Amino acid sequence: MASPAVHPSVDGLLATENESHRYAKTPHLWALGVGTVIGGEFYGWQSSLIAGFNGLLVILAFVTVLYTLLTFSIAEMSASIPSGGGPIFLYLDALFGLDTNYGPLWWIGFNVIFISLNIMGVEATFRVQVFATMLSTAMLAIFYCGSFSQLDYTTWVVDQNWEWTTWSDSIQGLSFALWFYFGIEEMPLAVDETIEPEKNMPRGIIWSMVTLVILAVLTMVCQCLIYPGAAAMYETTAPLVTGYKSVFGDNSTTAGFMWLTVIGIISSTHSFVYCMSRLLYAIASDGYLPQFLTKVHPTRGSAYAALITGGVVNQILAISLFYIVEIVDLGSVLINLALLGALISYSFQLVSFIMLRINQPDVRGQTAAPSVLLVLCGTSSNNFLSAVITAVILFAVGTGHYYKSVLPRLNSERFNQISPRPSKSLRQNLMSIRSNV
């Protein structure tokens, strides 16, 4: 009987096909990467127009360079160490005038739907993701093609005096410009479901980034250089719907497209739910979270315990913020909370990449990244400050849990006996790798 295929893992242990059901190839990973981010083309990015059209163009170029460096880094790490270690209601409210008092009920409904889809298994997850991503991309392509004949920089930017704003406004716009690429860093979490991850994962990451750069530039140009102009687009909640009405008219056909634009937000949410479960599963597998989070469905291979637990926790946080923060500011607070978490993730990913280069200079995957410069940036808005305070509290609680509960277990003989992986230092877990990689 043939032995299971062996893949290198981050802690030097043998990883087999039995650990998870491998299904994804480069096209599936492309759909996951683009689908995770594509909701940002539908909603959220327009707030970065506070910097002005030209200011946003400069910011977008800067952010694109940073994310390109990040994707090269995570592509190399995912090939070298192939181991797993949006506010929908606000958009729907802008489209269909839903009662904001029932926001939490809509959130619970969407949460149940997306968690159920992911529990159905890896194959179902990726099939839904491919469909949603392709449909979302098609929606954007239709809009781009229809808007090309109406582009007018002078009328919709210069005459509105919306070329440049102040330096302070540009800094505030920077965080929302990240929305064009926010989420791409989650792709390596799918490595345990990927066939030949050392080959397919880097390809999926890089092709996703190429696609997102094209979509970001076209979205910005095509939506700002048509009626009602860049200044008015900054004020809208659903920029793509506004663009569709401008290009194709406010009629029954456009009303049908309004419903289809929700697919872009659904695509991103579906991806984030999947990535959330893989992240919790990976952390729990290393012993930093309770072991019940590593439970996997016996036939479908989905991390159902992580999916359900993560869904309950994020639902509690969202509903709590709904009653603590005014509904007008809730979208900005949620976006900034998500972006702050992403920036922390980026920092750790880039530090890990640099550590890998220093400690294992000869270990590289098929994709080698250039050297990078870490740049820290932020905004001074009250919404961002609220997000920072909330995140600091959460990380403080997590740090206390680590030192009080996790660290003693890591150092105990009992934990070594019951843990599915031997206890090692953080550096060993990050840097040790099989010599045949």
| 106-117: pLDDT as tens digits | 667 777 777 777
Q: Is-contact 36 269, C-beta < 8 A? A: no
Rounding to the nearest 10 degrees, give the CA dihedral for residues 423, 425, 430, 431.
-110
Residue 198 identity (one-letter amino acid): E
Report the number of distinct structural domains present in the chain.
1
Q: What pLDDT is attached to residue 422?
A: 41
Whether residue 170 lies inside any domain: the answer is yes
| Res. 238 pLDDT band, cuts 50 70 90 | confident
- 343-394 tens-digit pLDDT: 777 777 777 777 767 776 665 554 444 443 333 344 444 554 555 566 567 6
CATH of the domain at 163: 1.20.1740.10
Whether residue 61 lies inside any domain: the answer is yes
Whether residue 355 lies inside any domain: the answer is yes
Whether residue 78 lies inside any domain: the answer is yes
- 201-229 tens-digit pLDDT: 888 988 999 999 999 999 999 999 999 99
End-to-end CA distance of the chain: 25
Answer yes or no: is pLDDT of 333 > 70.
yes
Answer yes or no: is pLDDT of 256 > 70.
yes
Q: What pLDDT is attached to residue 19?
A: 46
Q: What pLDDT is attached to residue 315?
A: 84
| Res. 255 pLDDT band, cuts 50 70 90 | confident
Whether residue 15 lies inside any domain: the answer is no
| Other Cβ atoms within 10 Å of 340 Cβ, number | 19
Q: What pLDDT is attached to residue 34?
A: 92
Average pLDDT over residues 174-185: 85
Report percent pLDDT > 90 for the chain: 18
Q: What pLDDT is attached to residue 398?
A: 63
Radius of gyration of the chain (CA): 22
| Res. 148 pLDDT band, cuts 50 70 90 | very high
Average pLDDT over residues 222-241: 91
| Res. 437 pLDDT band, cuts 50 70 90 | very low
Handedness of CA 416, 419, 425, 431 (dihedral sign): positive
Q: What pLDDT is attached to residue 276?
A: 86
Average pLDDT over residues 260-274: 78
Give Cα 149 to chain centroid, integer Å: 33
Q: What pLDDT is attached to residue 42?
A: 86
Residue found under tokens 């990883």: 15
Q: How far apart are CA 355 and CA 431, in angstroms?
A: 8
Least confident of 187-191, 288-292, 337-341, 365-369: 365-369
Whether residue 1 lies inside any domain: the answer is no
Handedness of CA 90, 96, 101, 105 (dihedral sign): negative
Q: What pLDDT is attached to residue 43?
A: 80
Mean pLDDT computed over every residue of the chain: 74
Whether residue 85 lies inside any domain: the answer is yes
Whether residue 7 lies inside any domain: the answer is no
Q: Is-contact 237 87, C-beta < 8 A? A: no
Report percent pLDDT > 70 for the chain: 67
Q: What pLDDT is attached to residue 379?
A: 41
Answer yes or no: is pLDDT of 188 > 60.
yes
Q: What pLDDT is attached to residue 434?
A: 38
Per-residue HEC secondary structure of the chain comes to CCCCCEEECCCCCEEEHHHCCCCECHHHHHHHHHHHHCHHHHCCHHHHHHHCHHHHHHHHHHHHHHHHHHHHHHHHHHHHCCCCCCCHHHHHHHHHCCCHHHHHHHHHHHHHHHHHHHHCCHHHHHHHHHHHHHHHHHHHHHHHHHHHHHCCHHHHHHCCCCCCCCHHHHHHHHHHHHHHCCCHHHHHHHHHHECCHHHHHHHHHHHHHHHHHHHHHHHHHHHHCCCCCHHHHHHCCCHHHHHHHHHHCCCHHHHHHHHHCHHHHHHHHHHHHHHHHHHHHHHHHCCCCCHHHHCCCCCCCCCHHHHHHHHHHHHHHHHHHHHHCCHHHHHHHHHHHHHHHHHHHHHHHHHHHHHHHHHCCCCCCCCCCCCCCCCCCCCCCHHHHHHHHHHHHHHHHHHHHHHHHHHHHHCCHHHHHHCCCCCCCHHHHHHCCCCCC
Residue 9 identity (one-letter amino acid): S
Closest CA to 311 of 265, 268, 263, 272: 272
Answer yes or no: is pLDDT of 155 > 90.
yes
What residues make up the domain containing 194?
21-431
Q: 363 versus 342: which is more confidently predicted?
A: 342
Average pLDDT over residues 22-34: 87
Q: Is-contact 267 35, C-beta < 8 A? A: yes
Q: What pLDDT is attached to residue 419?
A: 43
Answer yes or no: is pLDDT of 140 > 90.
yes
